[in-house]
Amino acid sequence: MEIRAGLGYDIHRLEEGRRLFLGGVEIEFGRGLSGHSDGDCLIHAIIDALLGAVGMEDIGQHFPDSDPRYKDVRSTELLKKVVGLMRERKMEIVNVDSIVIAEEPKLGPYIPQMKKTLGPILGVRQDDLGIKAKTNEGMGAIGEGEAIAAWAQVLVRKIK
């Protein structure tokens, strides 16, 4: 059985007056992540991990920020497209693990909802989808609340 791993990372600046989306869930915060899309850096990290695992080009090549079709697009829609591309290549996801690094807001209470939102799109059970939230201990741009970052690791396999 062919098994492949993928790694993804993303970081977006926090901006006043934008809605905050993380893991496909809207979070009340007063500031949101900048970007051409909804700025959901957790989903973007997962997308890059998936694309990397199957040997495709990265998220910027698939969904360029010069393309008006992706202006303010929900990242859940981008993720659905990528999972579709993987299925065309007869690949399915074994598991996903991820970390979101944000000083604020407290993300722990939103993790169950993120898993409920992303699990069905990815086609994995809740047990096969890890989402962990950490702070940056007050250090650097993330620690000062200027940005939120995310890491994701995936394992995919060929569908028999």
Give alpha helix (H) positions in 91-153.
111-122, 140-143
Of the candidate spans 37-45, 100-108, 115-123, 141-149, the one that interacts with Mg ion by CB under 5 A turns out to be: 37-45
18 binds Mg ion (CB under 5 A): no
Kindly tell me which of 72 and 137 has the beta carbon lying closer to Mg ion.
Answer: 72
Shortest Cβ distance from residue 16 to Mg ion (Å)? 19
- Long-range CB contacts for residues 111-117, cutoff 8 Å, separation at least 24: 111/23, 113/23, 113/25, 114/22, 114/23, 114/24, 114/25, 114/42, 115/23, 117/23, 117/24, 117/25, 117/76
Kindly tell me which of 65 and 104 has the beta carbon lying closer to Mg ion.
Answer: 65
Kindly tell me which of 22 and 111 has the beta carbon lying closer to Mg ion.
Answer: 22
Kindly tell me which of 53 and 149 has the beta carbon lying closer to Mg ion.
Answer: 149
Q: Which of 18, 24, 38, 44 binds Mg ion (CB under 5 A)?
A: 44
The two structure tokens encoding residue 135 = 């702070």
Residues 53-112 that bind Mg ion (CB under 5 A): none
From residue 87, alpha-carbon distances to 2, 50, 51 in Å are 14, 11, 12
Q: Which of 10, 38, 48, 103 binds Mg ion (CB under 5 A)?
A: 10
**What letter does residue 23 receive in the DSSP assignment?**
T
- The footprint of Mg ion (CB under 5 A) covers 10, 44
